[in-house]
Chain A
Amino acid sequence: MYVAVKGGEKAIDQAHDWLAEARRGDPSVAELSVAQIREQLALAVNRVMAEGSLFDPDLAALAIKQARGDLIEAIFLIRAYRTTLPRFAASRPLDTGAMRCDRRISATYKDLPGGQVLGPTFDYTHRLLDFALEAEGLDRPAVPAEADPCAMPRVTGFLDAEGLIQPEPPCEAVPGDLTRAPLELPAERALRLQALARGDEGFVLSMAYSTQRGYAKNHPFVAELRIGALAVEVEIPELGFAVEIGELELSECETVNQFTGSKSAPAQFTRGYGLVFGQSERKAISMALVDRALRWRELGEDWKGAPAQDEEFVLSHCDNIQATGFLEHIKLPHYVDFQSELELVRKLRRAAGAEVRAGAQADAQAAAE
């Protein structure tokens, strides 16, 4: 039990002053601007936007600065800020097939319309520290020629056209929203995807990894991974039509997994799906694997007791703000709570001591007789 305490204001103020000083670091080193964080630590900014569940690069960069680079603390700041804003509308569902891709790769087809585009990737780097980055003033590469944006049809569309993959027919059902109603289990897939999209990257990665190592194995192929920009459309009620309100960077992963089939329906590939704010492909792939593992019931697979199949386990533990809130509260004063346990253990020991003394007396008496 947590009981409120009073006092300590002065110490708290001074602790916060020291925090501010520590945040600034050595004053002889130039201070980071929010714009520098936004531009040069973009993948940290993306992670804070994805798990903070609010797309706003400037706010995420500010949160990272305020949190001294502690990304979970920054995500906490973004979640708290979000609750102060009114929600005007929900967008029209994104058409990710229309994404202007910076990166688009497929592990299932070597040659495909639109091609394989690596984009700004860490893949194929040697993971050797580049000491040239210690020196400032990198030359900007020459401005390349211009090119027409290239259409990138969805890879699962090729399989779908042949009927080889479980279809995802469009529907316009209004999805449940975790931020408006408490999670109830079993949760529909829309709620699971929302929870995973804002879930902790490390947790979702570990769950996905566990499926690859054999805990509810489902043999994923990355049919497609795409990263790029996409406009968002919103219906404006006063106008009676939808307009584009801006553009997001997104990462999307579609996996193709082993078959399902029955006496009445021939074998078909199945799908896992991941979609995340920003450039965040590790998270998008992880999300697709966990999404697929959680679908065991609807796809008629066996319950293998694997953590990644257990929707209650995954959905209740993937949110790092819930997790850190509960975890870190145990460092706050629990004096009354602990006092009662202290009393209890003393009482037990007194009782046990009396028994021990009584037992020893009885032994001594028996020996004397």
Chain B
Amino acid sequence: MTEQAERQGWMGLLARAPAAELKRLWQAAGGAEGFAWLRPPEVGTVMVRGRTGGTGAPFNLGEMTVTRCALRLESGAVGHAMVQGRDREKAEIAARVDAGMQGAGAAGLRAALLAPLAQAEAQRARLRAAKADATRVDFFTMVRGED
């Protein structure tokens, strides 16, 4: 996996993570390296686009709330976050983890934070898939009586 794909992976995972779960794991991981804001958390929107017919020309579907921020750790690593919703603390943690993942603490963060988040997310998806699966139907077409 390229460096970029890896970073996309953890940034997406952090953004999709439930805020409460992320905060709990972050506190438990105790990452306390100091940082300075490059851009303090700011709430705004992203215009979500769909495609005509699902595959064609883009159109504007509507907006979603997001929070973004950027910071620099004392070690010099720069972290970015743009996460769904209006939770500034979640955005801050996501940016601190993004920066931390570029330094010596990456393995620790991966074990303490990213791995459990990924596992919980995969489990939620599998439970959801099982529920959907239970409602899978086979429709039979009946032969009609009239001729």
Binding site for B on A (CB under 8 A): 49-50, 53-56, 58-59, 82, 85-97, 100-103, 110-111, 115-121, 143-150, 154, 156, 168-179, 189-191, 193-194, 197-198, 229, 231-232, 234, 236, 238-239, 241-248, 252, 254, 271, 273, 275, 277
Tell me if B144 is interfacial: C-beta within 8 Å of chain A: no
Q: Which residues of A contact B83 (CB under 8 A)?
A: 245-246
On whether A55 and B52 interact (CB within 8 A), knowing A85-B43, A117-B133, the answer reads no
> Known: A86-B45, A277-B61. Is A168-B15 also a contact (CB below 8 A)?
no
Are B46 and A234 in contact, with the CB atoms below 8 A? yes
Query: Does A59 contact B8, Cβ atoms closer than 8 Å?
Result: no
Residues of B with C-beta under 8 A to A92 = 49
With contacts A85-B43, A90-B60, A244-B15 taken as known, whether A149 is within 8 angstroms of B129 at the C-beta atoms is yes
Q: B62 in the interface, Cβ–Cβ < 8 Å?
A: yes
Q: Does B40 touch A at the CB level, under 8 Å? A: no
B11 CB–A CB distance under 8 Å: yes
Chain A residue, CB-CB nearest to B42 = A86
Please measure, in the bound complex, the distance between the C-alpha atom of A102 and the C-alpha atom of B127, giving whole angstroms: 11
B50 interfacial contact with A, CB 8 Å? yes
Q: A87 touching B85 by the CB < 8 A rule?
A: no
- What CA separation (Å) do A194 and B58 show in the bound complex? 10
Q: Decide: A231 and B16 in contact? CB cutoff 8 A.
A: yes
- Measured between alpha carbons, how far is A103 from B132 in the docked complex, in Å? 7
List residues of chain A with CB within 8 A of the CB of B85.
56, 58, 246
**Whole-angstrom CA separation of A97 from B43 in the bound complex:** 30
Is the pair B46, A277 in contact by a Cβ cutoff of 8 Å? no
Is the beta-carbon distance between A90 and B47 smaller than 8 angstroms? yes
Question: Using a CB-CB cutoff of 8 Å, which residues 56-91 of chain B contact chain A?
Answer: 56-66, 68, 70, 80, 82-86
Q: Is the beta-carbon distance between A271 and B139 smaller than 8 angstroms?
A: no
Q: Which chain B residues border A179 with CB–CB below 8 Å?
A: 60
Residues of B within 8 A of A (CB): 4, 7-8, 11-12, 15-16, 42-66, 68, 70, 80, 82-86, 123, 125-141
Contacts of B59 in A (CB 8 A): 175, 189-191, 193-194
Q: Judging by beta carbons under 8 Å apart, are A168 and B51 in contact?
A: yes
Interchain Cβ contacts under 8 Å between A and B, 22 examples = A85-B43, A85-B44, A88-B45, A94-B50, A94-B61, A100-B129, A102-B128, A110-B140, A143-B127, A145-B130, A146-B130, A150-B132, A173-B58, A177-B60, A178-B60, A179-B60, A229-B128, A234-B46, A243-B11, A243-B12, A243-B82, A248-B48
- Distance in Å: Cβ of B120 to nearest Cβ of chain A: 13
- In the assembled complex, the Cα of A59 lies from the Cα of B65 at a distance in Å of 10
Cross-interface CB contact of A232 among B42, B64, B132, B134, cutoff 8 Å: B64
Complex: A170 Cα to B83 Cα, angstroms: 27
Residues of the A chain whose Cβ atoms lie less than 8 Å from the Cβ of B65: 54-56, 59, 85
CB B31 to nearest CB in A, in angstroms, measures 20
Q: Give the chain B neighbours of A154 by CB distance below 8 A.
A: 54-55
Nearest Cβ distance between residue A116 and chain B, in whole angstroms? 5
Q: A174 contacts B58, CB within 8 Å? A: yes
A54 lies within 8 A of B58 (CB): no
A123 to B59, CA, bound (A): 30
Complex-state Cα separation, A100 to B16, whole angstroms:
14
Return chain B residues, CB-CB under 8 Å to A146.
123, 126-127, 129-130
Identify the interface centre among A92, A154, A175, A252: most chain B CB within 10 Å of its CB: A175
A-B contact sample (6 more), CB < 8 A, given A94-B50, A144-B131, A190-B52: A58-B86, A82-B45, A147-B126, A154-B55, A198-B62, A243-B8
Q: A94-B51, A100-B125, A144-B127 are in contact. Are A55 and B64 (CB under 8 A)?
A: yes
Q: Is the CB of A86 within 8 A of B129?
A: no
Asked if residues B12 and A170 are in contact (CB atoms below 8 Å), the reply is no
Chain A residues with CB under 8 Å of B137's CB are 115-118
CA distance A89 to B45 in the complex (A): 7
Chain A residues near B133: list those with CB within 8 A.
117, 147, 150
Known contacts being A244-B11, A273-B52, is A91 close to B47, with CB within 8 Å? yes
A96 and B54 contact, Cβ closer than 8 Å, known pairs A238-B70, A277-B61: yes
